């Protein structure tokens, strides 16, 4: 919901955003054609939700993000073979001069913050023959999910903040646009998706929301209203997460 990823948001991100599960990462690595000798670039890496699970499938990861707090969270994981770089989508051509050809470029839940056409073209230009580019989304966002407790969370958010309809690039129209952009680069494109159910609790939900809201928005009255709404739901809170990967290979 917010473009401000600094400070508390980054701290909550490290704690309340899930890594891509290991079995999904293994499938994604195979679809990317990732080899153990390859270098991978994770653009908009956050605190490493794709970097960490893909690292076992390659020689090393260059993890790029414009938010220092996110890179601190990634460095705190102490992953050998990961270089955290302060940079953005617009740095891809310069990074390419230093690093190309790469085995893979991945973008997780971040492309909607960038110039999508320019970024995908620049990323495609960095790939070795046979290399792959993946755009991964986990969606819809928690507050747009269909479970009754998620509808309640959305109701509270909209009461306090107004409409919260942005899909963060996880909707069908965004998917179709990205497939078209990648095909226009002459890449071979496939789309995969994985579902996973996660049991969560009120602390996790509010922590996750804090990672999506800027600064101190999630305080006082709003936090209390969310906790009250969630307390009204009997039984476990189950979040169904749909992960979608658009994978494009250079032939
Ligand atoms: C929602 S987080 C996604 C983090 C992680 N990749 C994931 O899958 O959860 C979006 C990330 O994109 C970064 N970002 C925002 N604008 C960017 C840009 N122009 N270029 C690269 N990264 C950007 C943010 O700093 C943030 O870390």
Mean pLDDT of 177-183: 98
Both structure tokens of 223: 């936090």
CATH architecture of the domain formed by 8-141+167-197+239-249: 3-Layer(aba) Sandwich (3.40)
If one counts every other C-beta atom within 10 angstroms of the C-beta of residue 158, the result is 13
Q: How many whole angstroms from 154 Cα to the centroid of ligand 1?
A: 23
Spell out the residues 6+ positions from residue 133 whose beta carbon is closer than 8 angstroms to its own. Answer: 32, 104, 105, 106, 120, 123, 124, 127, 182, 187, 247, 248, 249, 250
Q: Grade residue 6 by pLDDT with cuts at 50, 70 and 90.
A: confident
Residues paired with 42 in a beta bridge: 63, 106
Tell me what percent of the chain is helix, strand and coil, each rounded to the nearest 5: 45, 25, 30
- pLDDT at 215 (0 to 100): 55
Q: How many whole angstroms from 233 Cα to the centroid of ligand 1?
A: 33
pLDDT in tens, 59-113: 999 999 999 999 999 999 999 999 999 999 999 999 999 999 999 999 999 999 9
Q: Grade residue 192 by pLDDT with cuts at 50, 70 and 90.
A: very high
The binding-site residues of ligand 1, defined as CB within 6 angstroms of any ligand atom, are 5, 17, 43-46, 49-50, 65-67, 70, 88-89, 108-110, 113-114
Which atom of ligand 1 is the closest one to the Cα of 5?
Answer: 25
What single string gives the DSSP state of each residue in 211-240?
Answer: TTS-TT-S-HHHHHHHHHHHHT--S-EEEE
- pLDDT at 231 (0 to 100): 92
Kindly report the pTM of this predicted structure: 0.95
For the chain, give the percent of residues with pLDDT over 90.
Answer: 86
If residue 154 lies in a helix (H) or strand (E), which one and from where to where?
Answer: helix 148-161
Spell out the residues 6+ positions from residue 9 whose beta carbon is closer than 8 angstroms to its own. Answer: 2, 69, 210, 211, 212, 213, 214, 215
d(CA 71, CA 64) in angstroms, rounded, equals 8
Mean pLDDT of 39-45: 98
- pLDDT at 217 (0 to 100): 78
d(CA 239, CA 65) in angstroms, rounded, equals 27
- pLDDT at 214 (0 to 100): 66
Mean pLDDT of 129-147: 95
Mean pLDDT of 181-196: 96
Question: Any idea what DSSP says for residue 162?
Answer: S
Are 127 and 101 spatial neighbours (Cβ–Cβ below 8 Å)? yes
Q: How many whole angstroms from 46 Cα to the centroid of ligand 1?
A: 5
- pLDDT at 213 (0 to 100): 79
**For ligand 1, atom 4, which residue shows the shortest CA distance?**
46
| 227 pLDDT more than 60 | yes
Domain definitions of the chain by residue range? 8-141+167-197+239-249
């Amino acid at each position: 919901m917010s473009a401000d990823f600094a400070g508390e948001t980054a701290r909550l991100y490290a704690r309340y955003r899930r890594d891509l599960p290991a079995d999904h990462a293994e499938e994604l690595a195979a679809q990317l054609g990732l080899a153990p000798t390859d270098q991978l670039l994770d653009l908009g890496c956050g605190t490493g939700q794709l970097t960490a699970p893909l690292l076992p499938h390659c020689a090393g990861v260059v993890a790029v993000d414009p938010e220092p707090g996110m890179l601190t969270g990634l460095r705190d994981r102490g992953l050998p073979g990961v270089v955290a770089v302060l940079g953005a989508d617009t740095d891809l051509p310069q990074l390419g001069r230093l690093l190309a050809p790469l085995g893979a470029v991945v973008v997780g839940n971040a492309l909607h913050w960038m110039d999508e056409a320019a970024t995908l073209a620049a990323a495609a230009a960095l790939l070795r023959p046979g290399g792959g580019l993946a755009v991964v989304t986990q969606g819809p966002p928690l507050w747009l999910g269909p479970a009754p407790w998620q509808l309640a969370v959305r109701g509270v958010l909209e009461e306090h903040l107004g409409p919260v309809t942005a899909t963060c690039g996880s909707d069908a129209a965004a998917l179709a646009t990205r497939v078209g952009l990648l095909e226009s680069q002459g890449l071979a494109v496939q789309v995969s998706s994985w579902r996973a159910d996660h049991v969560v609790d009120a602390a996790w939900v509010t922590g996750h929301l804090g990672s999506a809201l800027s600064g101190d928005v999630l305080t006082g009255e709003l936090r209390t209203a969310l906790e009250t709404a969630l307390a009204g739901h009997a039984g476990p809170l189950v979040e169904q997460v749909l992960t979608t990967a658009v994978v494009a290979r250079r032939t």
